[in-house]
Chain A
Amino acid sequence: MSEHTTIPAPEVDENDVAGPSARPSAGPSARPVRDDRSLHERIWSRIFGRSERAAWMERPSPGLSVLKGLLIAVVTISIVVPMLVVVSTSFASSDQIRDAGGYVLFPTDPTLEAYRTIFKSPLVFRAIGVSAFITVVGTLLALFVTITMAYALSRPVLFGKPMLMAIIVTLFFSPGLIPMYLMVKQLHLLDTIWSLILPGLFAGFNFIVMRSFFMGIPKELLESAKIDGASDFTILLRIVLPLSKAVIAVIGLFYAVGFWNSFFNALLYINDQSLWPIQMILRSYVIQGSSMTADALGVSQAPPPQSIKMAVVVVALAPIVVVYPFLQKYFSKGVITGAIKG
């Protein structure tokens, strides 16, 4: 902490803020000249980074601080603890689960037994395969459809306005689930893996984010390429796409999360258990509680159902949590908020 306790210099006190001469809010680069903060504040700033409290902003009253801290703590705990319990229990040994009465906060002797069991099970293994397939193929196709449409409508183009209206309408209405079911049936997609992919290929919201990003690309760039003889296809492939990696990543992740999470379409269109995605397995074995017997799993011996249930939850949860930091990275870059502000 020596770097903070350098030369004391005369300076406006933090609490003396009434005057406009108050120090401007300390940016990350502004090196503190004097540090009269208490010890806990220093530790705090070591962990969470320097406070960016604007000079005119008074410290909150203790009551308000406590209230805020409490709210933040409750929200954080309510999100983190359930996931922690589920993950821990899935790794816990059967003895520990029995002693703890079903749930474990920290596994004392972690074991992969539950995971070995579910990955041996043809049902779960297939379901993971189905979910992975619809996620990868669905996302690629959806990106193709969304990018082409968004690029076409990001320029003043023939039929552009009616087309845009036709897409905006999809944000407000839904055809209803029975007509959708009949349509999928009419296309002979019932009980095929494509019924989980094709209806979700185009989402109006993703289109709008993509289009507003494309519209932000300087017109001069595209026009000069056009003068140089580039066709619209070339411009899209060689100029627009390389400039749009961030938005493509974010929209791709949105689609991927949607496909991985798809449950309702499977419920509606799929009867054949061997085509169930992981969410359907999760529903029937964890929520509906049909016990995952050794028989159903196709193995001779199964660890206690509790840790198997938790392992299924973790399998459904893990890809989202793994992908999430990448998604998160772009929130801070403002891809989404930029689009929201229009």
Chain B
Amino acid sequence: MALVDNPASEALDGTARVIPMRGSAAVRGWEHLRTWPTSLRVGVALFLTIAVLLVLTPWIAPYDPAAQDLENRLAAGSPAHLLGTDHLGRDVLSRLLWGGRYSVSIAAVTLVLCSVFGTVLGLLCARIGGAFDELVMRLTDVALAFPEMVIAMFLVAILGPSYGTLILALVLTGWTPFARLARGLALEINSRDFVEAAEALGMSRRFIVFRHLLPNALSPLLAHAALRFGHKLIAVGALSYLGLGVQPPDSDWGSMLADGQPYMTRLAGLVVYPGLAIFITALAVTLIGQGINTRRNRQG
């Protein structure tokens, strides 16, 4: 339906068919991958590889990670033990795979809990404001003022080391940046015009939070979460290294580092391999985070 008889005005307005649509709404499926920044593609590929390896560990790990072979201690890499054996003759590759399951899953669970808890608190702060907002924000100040590691060590020391304690300690110290970010984002998005438009359409507050606030806050929150993942992985590793994390006979990358340290002059692989594992996994997720950020900036 042309509102003005002059066909030129249709073209000017963009209602004419000749005007191609800007942007890439038609991009679908695999084509979509091409619009991803390199860092995102590399990060996702790397992380998927690691995830698949860790999921398949029970079937692909060559040895029982706890099986000792004292005859064959501190052996260098060989066809039988690709990455060698540790000071108790356990296969390093198998331990790396099984340990990764602990490290990555603890980091992931912690991160999900942190981001959900932090985001909800942050959104509540932005919504309720007043004394509640003030209280929560001062709490984050306090939490940020103490080094994460000290609080975590303190808690583990009181409650005793376990899977649960480790996660609790990391969540208690790790929610603050998410709360601050979510609060800031919510305040900023709230002042944007489309929220006003939704209000003028009579949309309820809850609808606006779920339909407008969260989707718009999602990609910065995801990017932040990805950047924090490396941090969490290292924190888990550090606590385990200090003997406050995963307890023997189980092990994770951090405790492998600790176990290998006395022998690293004889067999450097004992610390190099778990260190590399932490490094590569953290790198993969950090790349994903950066990729999400880049993509967001490109879309403007």
Does chain A bind chain B? no
**Chain B residues in the interface with A (C-beta under 8 A):** none
